Amino acid sequence: MTDNRDSLVITPDTLAMARTFAADVVEQIHEELAAPSPCTCSDPAGTWLVTFERIGRTHDVAPLRVAVKDADELAERIYRHARPYLRSSDVQAVVDLAEGRGFILCGFRNGGDFTVVRDDKPGGAA
């Protein structure tokens, strides 16, 4: 019995091209994760209440109420709050204020999920 399908021949040149392509894709993913996402909120400065579904294997995590100047500062404060719960050395907090949620990234794994809502009190109390 003969096989009429085209053969795939992998040469050193095609293998090198595939490796370059894969490296470019991985680099692009890292750049997109590291780039600050634009906030569609008119003013992200204020007090935010962060409620965690979980951090790592811990599901009973106290909420975080924090006053910040911008979305990047909020992500940094969430990162600092989450860090003691995690064993990974590669941790990032990703916040989407427009969606009101975010996640904690440990390498390429999800280290937790949370919601964020504006929690400004009259008089600016934090």
Q: Taking a C-beta distance cutoff of 8 angstroms, is the pair 109, 103 a contact?
A: no
pLDDT of residue 2: 55
The whole-angstrom separation of Cα 108 and Cα 104 is: 10
**Which stretches in the chain have pLDDT values below 70?**
1-8, 29-42, 121-126
pLDDT of residue 6: 62
The ranges assigned to domains in the chain are 46-124
pLDDT of residue 108: 82
pLDDT of residue 45: 85
pLDDT of residue 5: 59
Residues contacting residue 24 through CB under 8 Å, at least 6 positions apart:
none
Q: Taking a C-beta distance cutoff of 8 angstroms, is the pair 94, 105 a contact?
A: yes
pLDDT of residue 42: 62
pTM over 0.85? The answer is no
Total residue count of the chain as it appears in this document: 126
**What distance, in Å, lies between the first and last C-alpha atoms of the chain?**
77
| Strand arrangement, sheet containing 101-106 | 64-68, 46-55, 109-118, 101-106, 91-96
pLDDT of residue 126: 46
